[in-house]
Amino acid sequence: MRLNQVDLNLFLVFDAIYTQRNLTKAAAVLCITQPAVSNALNRLRKSFDDPLFVRTPTGMLPTPYAKNIIGGIRQALQLLSASVQDSQQFDPRLSQRQINCSIIDFSESLILPATIEHLGLHAPKLIFNSYYVPRDEVAKELAAGTLDFAFDVPLINDNNLCSAALTSDDYVCVTRKDHPTIMGSLSLKQYLSCEHIHVSSRRRGGDLVDIALREQNQARQIKVRVKHHMAAMQVISRSDLLWTLPRRLAAQLEVNIFPLPFELSPIEMHLFWHKSADNDATNKWLREFFIAMTANN
């Protein structure tokens, strides 16, 4: 017998019959009809290849095989029941749940410090994992439960996902403090004449900056392409490259910050979760924190 071929509701019927020793009483406990209990028992007998219960004048007596498996079945049912109860009655101080989040690189430094501080104070046993899931795989992983949340720009379209807008941030350009040519202000001519560093998880292609420039028949010179913002921070401090990034991230660096010399729409960050987790108490507690945290920053 393979577990994926068995209706797990049958184990509830098994436990009820074992406890009540009577099909009619088991049906009353389960709030189903007696014929439905009889049908479930027949299916169980076929699955286990054993009578399981024998009808006697004193009631339905379990067979030796049924006596052998009742302990494991009850333990499994109690574990499932506890899991359901935990999802409805979440105590952050006791939760040992593991939370998996997909966070785009620049958002990690904005989200993680306050999140880890909050969890340390209110949910010290909860485990928090942050990594990046490609945008076209997010919906699938949220549906599968391997991912709890995704922090990303609002480009993930799936009717089975819920979302909330978190932040909106404008772009700026930064240089190292002692840049030899960019001082005081930054013109479009200077911006285009300098070489740039570009942060992206993709191997090629630009981003919103390059799209905006292309609309003006302009293009920047990308000299260096890196995967992570941490690497870009180190490169900028030791080069004359320009770096275009969200203002909140730039404010954390020891750099010169300049307004962009061209129009560029702000970058938005949204929180995504699956509809199936909308009423989950842990999910709700965390997303309420995420929304409040970003609103205050």
Q: Let me know: does 135 contact 200? Beta carbons within 8 Å.
A: no
Structure tokens at 243: 């770096």
pLDDT, tens digit (0-9, with 9 covering 90-100), for 265-274: 998 899 999 8
Residue 77 is predicted with a pLDDT of 79
In CATH terms, the fold of domain 3-88 is: Arc Repressor Mutant, subunit A (1.10.10)
Long-range CB contacts (within 8 A, 24+) of 183-187: 183/256, 185/258, 186/258, 186/259, 186/260, 186/261, 187/261
Residue 137 is predicted with a pLDDT of 87
Q: What CATH code would you report for 98-167+268-296?
A: 3.40.190.10
Q: What is the spatial distance between Cα 233 and Cα 255, in angstroms, rounded to a whole number?
A: 9
CATH assignment of 171-265, given 3.40.50.300, 3.40.190.10, 3.90.78.10, 3.65.10.10?
3.40.190.10
pLDDT, tens digit (0-9, with 9 covering 90-100), for 73-122: 887 876 776 566 555 567 899 888 889 999 987 788 788 999 999 999 99
Q: Same CATH topology for 3-88 and 98-167+268-296?
A: no
Q: What is the spatial distance between Cα 262 and Cα 11, in angstroms, rounded to a whole number?
A: 66
pLDDT, tens digit (0-9, with 9 covering 90-100), for 274-286: 887 888 888 999 9
Domain boundaries, the chain: 3-88, 98-167+268-296, 171-265
